[in-house]
Amino acid sequence: MAEKIKLLFRIGYAYHKAAFDPVIEYLMNDPKYDVYFSLDAEKKRYFWVLDIPYQQPIIDEWKKLGYRFTKEKKGFDIVITGDTLRDAPEYGKTLLCFLNHGTGIKNILYRNLAKFPDHRYQIFVEGPHRVKSLLSSPALGKNEVHLVGLPKLDFYFQGRFNDREGILRRWGLDPNKKTVLYAPTYKPTSLYDIKDDIFEQTKDFNLIIKLHPYSWMGKYAPHRQHRIFEKRVKKYNHAVLLPFEAYNIVPFYAVADTIISEASSTVFDFLALGKFGIVYDLPCDDLKHSDGEPLLEIDNREFLKGAFVHIQNGKQIYQAVEQALNPTQEMKEKAEVYRNELFYKLDGKATERFVKKMEELYYEGGHENVPEQ
C-alpha cells in the first residue's frame, strides 16, 4: 500500500475554517490522505493588553468528528493555509498552498506577500481579477497563481443550505419575511455609524447580524464592537446577533435576501450568489495604513457600482433594501459583468479543481516554500 500524503490544514483562526470546509470534507474522505489540523492564532484580549490563547467550544465538536489537532509544523507533505505565515521556514520542505480565508477588496494579501519575498506559496484564487492583480503586483515574488474558483461557496451551490425555513426558525426568525444580513468588517467599519439605524430601518424584515470574529476578541478591534449590538438586539424581536461560535457565514448567505456591509469579503462573496447587496460607502481617501498605503485595493465607493446599491448613511437603509430586493434590469446586467470578472465557474466544483491542481503540483515535486536555511 502506498504511503499516505501527510497534510496539514493550518487554520490559524477558527473562522478561517469556513473557507476550507468543502476541501476538508473532500480530503478526509480520500484514503490516500492523512489529515491533521492546527489552530494556533486564536487569542482573546483582556484588560486592553493581555492576550490569552482561546479555544472555542466548537473545537471539541470537531475533535468528535475525527479532526486531529497538532502543534507540529514540520513533517507534512502539504500545508494548506488561509493566511500568509510569518514562520513559513518552520514548516520545512513542503508544498505550501494558500487558499484565502476571505476574498474581497482589502489589500492585506499583497502587503503580506511583500513582507516575505523569499517565501513561496501556491496561491489558489477565485477569479480572473485576482489572477490579473496578483500577476501584475510586485508583491507576487516567487509565488505561483492558480485559478480554481471559490471552494468556500461549493456547499452553497451544491444545495447544502437549502432549508431556508429550518435555518431561520432555528434563530427565532420568521420564514415569511425577507431577510437582511448585516456583516460589517472590523476595520474599516460601518458599525459605529449605523448601530441604531440598522435595527430601526429593518423592522419589516428579518435582521441577522454577523460580526467579524475580531469584533468579539478585543485584540484587533475593541470589545465595544460586540457590546454595541449585544445591548441593542435585545430590544428588537426581528433581529438576531449571531454568537462568536457561529464561525461559518455561508449558511446565512443562503437564507439572506440581501446583505449590508462596506469592505468585508461578504459583499464580494454575495455577488457570486446572484443576489444583490448594499454597500455602505466609506471615506476611502482617508483610509490608510500607518505607512500611508490605502487599506483597500478598490475604493469601496466604486466597488460593484451600478449593480449593488450604495448608501452614505443609515437612514437610507430601508429604501436600499427595497431596491436590492427589486433590482433593475441594468443592475442585473452590470452584476453579470462583475461576476464574470471576479469569479470562475460558480458550479460547486471548485474543491475538485483545487485538489486536482494541488496533486499535480505535489507529484511534480521539487517545491520549496522557503529557500534553504
Checking if the pLDDT of 253 tops 90, the result is yes
Checking if the pLDDT of 41 tops 60, the result is no
Residue-wise pLDDT tens digits, 133-170: 999 998 898 999 999 999 999 999 999 999 999 999 99
CA distance 349 to 158: 9
Q: What is the pLDDT of residue 371?
A: 46
CA distance 213 to 185: 9
What is the band of 367 on the pLDDT scale with cuts at 50, 70, 90? Answer: low
Are 344 and 103 within 8 A, CB to CB?
Answer: no
Are 240 and 208 within 8 A, CB to CB?
Answer: yes
Are 122 and 355 within 8 A, CB to CB?
Answer: no
Q: Where are the alpha helices (DSSP H) in the chain?
A: 17-28, 58-64, 108-115, 128-135, 154-157, 164-170, 197-200, 214-217, 224-233, 250-255, 265-272, 317-325, 329-342, 350-364
Checking if the pLDDT of 1 tops 80, the result is no
DSSP annotation of 276 reads -
Q: What is the pLDDT of residue 288?
A: 63
* Cα first-last separation, the chain: 34
Checking if the pLDDT of 370 tops 60, the result is no
What is the band of 72 on the pLDDT scale with cuts at 50, 70, 90? Answer: very high
Residue-wise pLDDT tens digits, 263-301: 778 898 999 999 999 999 987 666 666 676 766 777 788
What is the band of 310 on the pLDDT scale with cuts at 50, 70, 90? Answer: very high
Q: What is the pLDDT of residue 46?
A: 59
At 261 the three-state DSSP class reads strand
CA distance 124 to 371: 21
pTM: 0.89
Report the candidate in 349, 254, 269, 351 with the shortest Cα–Cα distance to residue 304. 269
Q: What is the pLDDT of residue 83?
A: 87
Q: What is the pLDDT of residue 223?
A: 85
Mean pLDDT calculated for residue range 250-265: 93
Checking if the pLDDT of 373 tops 50, the result is no
Cα-atom radius of gyration of the chain, to the nearest Å? 21
Q: Which residue has the higher pLDDT, 294 or 252?
A: 252
Region(s) of the chain under CATH 3.40.50.2000: 5-154+348-364
Checking if the pLDDT of 52 tops 60, the result is no
Question: CA quadruple 262, 266, 268, 271: dihedral positive or negative?
Answer: negative
Q: What is the pLDDT of residue 357?
A: 97
Percentage of the chain beyond pLDDT 70 is 90
CA distance 226 to 230: 6
Q: What is the pLDDT of residue 16?
A: 83
Residue-wise pLDDT tens digits, 319-340: 999 999 999 999 999 999 999 9
Tell me if the domain spanning 5-154+348-364 has CATH number 1.10.579.10.
no
The domain defined by 163-342 folds into: Rossmann fold (3.40.50)
Q: What is the pLDDT of residue 55?
A: 61
Q: Would you state the cell numbers that stand for residue 269, as one nine-digit string?
A: 462573496
- Phi, psi of 236, rounded to the nearest 5 degrees: -130, 115
Q: What is the mean pLDDT of the chain?
A: 89
Mean pLDDT calculated for residue range 307-311: 97
Region(s) of the chain under CATH 3.40.50.12580: 163-342
In angstroms, what CA-CA distances link 301 with 16, 283, 298, 318, 332?
Answer: 27, 8, 8, 19, 19
Per-range mean pLDDT, top range of 55-64, 184-193, 195-204: 195-204
Residue-wise pLDDT tens digits, 88-141: 999 999 999 999 877 777 777 888 888 888 899 999 999 999 999 999 998 898
